[in-house]
Amino acid sequence: MKALARLVLGLVIFDAAVTAPTLEPINYDSETYDATLEDLDDLYNYENIPIGQAEERTSIAGSREQRAPHPAPQPEEAEEEEEESTPRLIDGFSPQEPEFTRVLGPHASEDFPTCLLCTCISTTVYCDDHELDAIPPLPKNTAYFYSRFNRIKKINRNDFASLNDLRKIDLTSNLISEIDEDAFRKLPELRELILRDNKIRQLPDLPTTLTFIDISSNRLGRKGIKQEAFKDMYDLHHLYLTDNNLDHIPLPLPENLRALHLQNNNILEMHEDTFCDVKNLTYIRKALEDIRLDGNPINLSKTPQAYMCLPRLPIGSLV
Ligand SMILES: *[C@@H]1O[C@H](CO)[C@@H](O)[C@H](O)[C@H]1NC(C)=O
Ligand SMILES: *[C@@H]1O[C@H](CO)[C@@H](O)[C@H](O)[C@H]1NC(C)=O
């Protein structure tokens, strides 16, 4: 409550400053306070505040001086406006920083350096589109990591080391051509691995906890997937390997797999036991409802027995 009182007092002073531009710049003390977005909504009536000023208020309320070790330059325009009518902001936050980082700052992964560049909300780290050329250091409690549309070339052994809560990695649209063999293997909670649109030639060992794998649009080719790579992934339900120049279907397929996308590869043949069990005609692979083999030089009509156990025929050339 004391903190809230301090905040209210601060706002009253700030209000005075806005209406009386000749006032000296105010020294806000840098003690931490836990203002939430709800608190702010209660205190403000945004409708009566010009947009620029409303933004400044949010930024003051949501920040602390010591959270901004690198002063980020303010855009020129904003600076000019401030000099005219309002006291300069004491914090160094760029107004371009996403709103929630500033407002929720004290609740996120606080002073972690990566969170000053990227956006951290609770246990999620968003680093999309930041021209990164390597995986940045991540807070220990990171559960969801997005780093799409960057220029990362390699994933190193230690990039995700001891991130024991990591559940999802999304590195869509980077330049990854190399992944250390141990990069993912020891992540005990990893569920989703999305590496679409990269240049990966060789898939490393993967943890068996995975439920969703998307390595579409890479260069796995004939040797990029190891023998029995997906065999022990009991919970795997989506496996997307579109556009990879694969020349075979990676076997065996885990029993709970629901979707297998292999379109636009170089798969030439299918065997009677690829999906089904030729020795057991009562066996039904009931989970696997979505098989895509279109865009492959394969004639599915040649192996009519191969689909007996499936709930649906694969999509692909049947002529
Ligand atoms: C054949 O498949 C059915 C259904 O999956 C299973 O219950 C049965 O044990 C299998 N029989 C043999 C001989 O493997
Ligand atoms: C596909 O296989 C079927 C059955 O063997 C055959 O009749 C058909 O001509 C084949 N189609 C092509 C385009 O090779």
Q: What is the pLDDT of residues 88-143, one digit of tens each?
A: 333 333 334 444 444 444 444 557 889 999 999 999 999 999 999 999 999 999 99
- Going by C-alpha positions, the residue among 156, 244, 144, 228 that lies closest to residue 189 is 144
pLDDT of residue 112: 84
Task: Express each pLDDT in 209-229 by its tens digit.
Answer: 999 999 999 999 999 999 999
**Which residue of 301, 305, 317 sits with most ligand 2 atoms within 8 Å of its CB, as the best mutation to test the pocket?**
301
Query: Which residues lie with the beta carbon below 6 Å from any ligand 1 atom?
Result: 280, 282-283
Q: What is the CA angle 299-228-203, rounded to 5?
A: 90
CA pair distance 304, 318, nearest whole angstrom: 10
Q: Per this entry, what is the length of the chain?
A: 319
- What the block records as the tokens of 207 is 């943890």
Distance from residue 298's CA to the centre of ligand 2 (Å): 10
**Which residue of 268, 269, 299, 305 sits with most ligand 2 atoms within 8 Å of its CB, as the best mutation to test the pocket?**
299
pLDDT of residue 317: 80
- Domain range summary for the chain, segments of one domain joined by +: 23-86
Distance from residue 306's CA to the centre of ligand 2 (Å): 15
- What the block records as the tokens of 61 is 């309320």
Are 310 and 285 spatial neighbours (Cβ–Cβ below 8 Å)? Answer: yes
- pTM of the predicted model over 0.85: no
Distance from residue 284's CA to the centre of ligand 1 (Å): 9
Helix or strand or coil: residue 194?
strand
Task: Express each pLDDT in 5-61 by its tens digit.
Answer: 444 333 433 444 434 444 444 333 333 333 333 333 333 333 333 333 333 333 333
CA distances (Å), 129 to each of 88, 117, 177, 196, 215, in order?
A: 30, 11, 19, 15, 19
* 223 burial via Cβ count (<10 Å: 0-12, 13-18, 19+): exposed
User: Sign (positive/negative) of CA torsion 267, 271, 276, 277?
Assistant: negative
Task: With residue 113 as reference, give the H or E element that holds it.
Answer: helix 113-117
CA pair distance 239, 224, nearest whole angstrom: 15
Mean per-residue pLDDT, 184-201:
97
Of all residues in the chain, what percent carry a pLDDT higher than 70?
A: 65
Cβ-proximal residues to 206 (8 Å cutoff; 6+ apart), any chain: 184, 185, 193, 213, 229, 233
Residue reference for tokens 């969801």:
144
